[in-house]
């Protein structure tokens, strides 16, 4: 397709991403590149607040999107890389009528959070584990989560429906 | 993220948290929360001013609740907004750190037998 040939590599990835959602109603709206450092998490939450304002999304939808993306990116920053080098984590926002999808892409080691067994919540405080809850939180709060490994990158899509 | 602590009565303190209780928020309050936890028997944590809560924030609450319990004290939560309450519920923290509607209800829970 001639149009695709004119796209930059980043643009082609966006087009592929929307196409793979198998729904012509999805459209890309925003993207951000984050460094693999803790300070990027504040940048991410501000970016999602801005996205929520642009979409006039309800406070709960913005909270849920922020939470899911935050847990995904925090996990990548903490565990995805075997080196201390600089890496970029990209987050793309796509919208469709009544839904928002955030796709988080990283070049870290392959990791599919959907294959991780869910940790059962403890009944008693003395049995509670202190950490390791981020992935369950993301899976429970999102309406759909999909994972693909594409061109040496993890691509996690978190979808939230509303309205 | 801001934290302030007040003594409600002998052996019972309250901390008020304000802002985002996430990775950086948890790092900012960790030391003062731990200091307050060491200085009181029971602690009421007021989350009314917490606008965002991530798993790293819950981690700090659960770690301190465990520390209090190991010394015979208790932590209670008041003021959680529906969004913050949802995070506590999904992680399971709401089952192990009691939540009360108000300060009065929290104090009644602490006075109850076994409290």
| B9 confidence band (pLDDT: 50, 70, 90) | very high
pLDDT for A8 equals 36
Contact A125 B97 (CB under 8 A): yes
If interface means Cβ-Cβ distance under 8 Å, which residues of chain B face chain A? 20, 22-24, 52-56, 58-59, 62-63, 65-66, 69, 82-83, 86-87, 90-93, 95-97
Question: What does the pLDDT profile of chain A (163 residues) look like in tens digits?
Answer: 333 333 334 444 455 565 565 566 899 999 999 999 999 999 999 999 999 999 999 999 999 999 999 999 999 999 999 999 999 999 999 999 999 999 999 999 999 998 877 667 777 777 767 667 888 899 999 999 999 999 999 999 999 998 7
What does each C-alpha distance from B91 to A114, A118, A119, B10, B24 come to in angstroms? 17, 11, 9, 32, 20
pTM listed for this prediction: 0.88
Tell which wins on pLDDT, B67 or A163: B67
Task: Name the average pLDDT for chain B.
Answer: 94
- The CATH number linked to B59 is 3.30.750.24
pLDDT at B95: 81
Return the residue in B75, B83, B98 with the most chain A beta carbons within 10 A, the one to mutate for interface testing. Answer: B83
Strands A99-106 and A153-161: antiparallel
Q: Show the domain range for B56.
A: 2-111
Number of domains in chain B: 1
Please name the residue of chain B whose CA is at the shortest distance from the CA of residue A61. Answer: B83
Is A126 in Cβ contact with B24 (below 8 Å)? no
- The CATH code of the domain at A2-161 is 3.30.565.10
pLDDT band at B113 (very low <50, low <70, confident <90, very high): low
Residue spans of the domains in chain A: they are 2-161
* Interface membership of A67 toward B (CB under 8 Å): yes
Residue B47 token pair: 């989350």
Count Cβ atoms within 10 A of the Cβ of residue A154 and give its class: 0-12 exposed, 13-18 middle, 19 or more buried: buried
The ipTM assigned to this model is 0.92
Torsion, Cα A82 A138 A31 A159, to 10 degrees, reads 140
Confidence of residue B13 (pLDDT cuts 50, 70, 90): very high
CA distances to A30, A65, B70, B98 from A14, in Å: 10, 20, 52, 45
Closest partner residue to B62 (CB to CB) among A67, A120, A130 is: A130
| Model confidence at B98: pLDDT above 90 | yes
């Amino acid at each position: 397709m001639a149009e695709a040939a004119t796209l930059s590599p980043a643009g082609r990835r966006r087009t592929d991403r929307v196409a793979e959602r198998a729904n012509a109603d999805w459209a890309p709206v925003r993207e951000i590149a984050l460094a693999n450092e803790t300070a990027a998490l504040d940048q991410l939450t501000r970016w999602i607040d801005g996205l929520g304002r642009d979409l006039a999304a309800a406070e709960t939808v913005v909270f849920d999107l922020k939470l899911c993306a935050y847990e995904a990116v925090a996990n990548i920053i903490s565990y995805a890389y075997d080196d201390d080098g600089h890496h970029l984590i990209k987050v793309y926002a796509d919208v469709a009528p009544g839904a928002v999808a955030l796709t988080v892409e990283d070049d870290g080691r392959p990791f599919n959070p959907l294959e991780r067994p869910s940790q059962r919540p403890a009944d008693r405080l003395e049995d509670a584990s202190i950490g390791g809850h981020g992935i369950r939180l993301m899976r429970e709060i999102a309406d759909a989560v999909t994972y693909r490994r594409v061109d040496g990158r993890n691509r996690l899509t978190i979808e939230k429906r509303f309205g | 993220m801001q934290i302030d602590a007040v003594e409600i009565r002998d052996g019972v303190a309250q901390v008020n948290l304000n802002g985002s209780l996430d990775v950086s928020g948890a790092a900012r309050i960790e030391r003062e929360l731990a200091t307050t936890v060491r200085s009181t028997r029971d602690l009421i944590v007021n989350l009314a001013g917490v606008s965002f809560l991530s798993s790293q924030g819950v981690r700090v609450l659960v770690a301190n609740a465990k520390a209090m319990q190991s010394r015979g004290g208790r932590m209670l939560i008041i003021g959680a907004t529906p969004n913050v309450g949802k995070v506590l519920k999904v992680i399971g923290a709401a089952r192990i750190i009691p939540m009360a509607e108000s300060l009065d209800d929290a104090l009644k829970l602490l006075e109850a037998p076994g409290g």
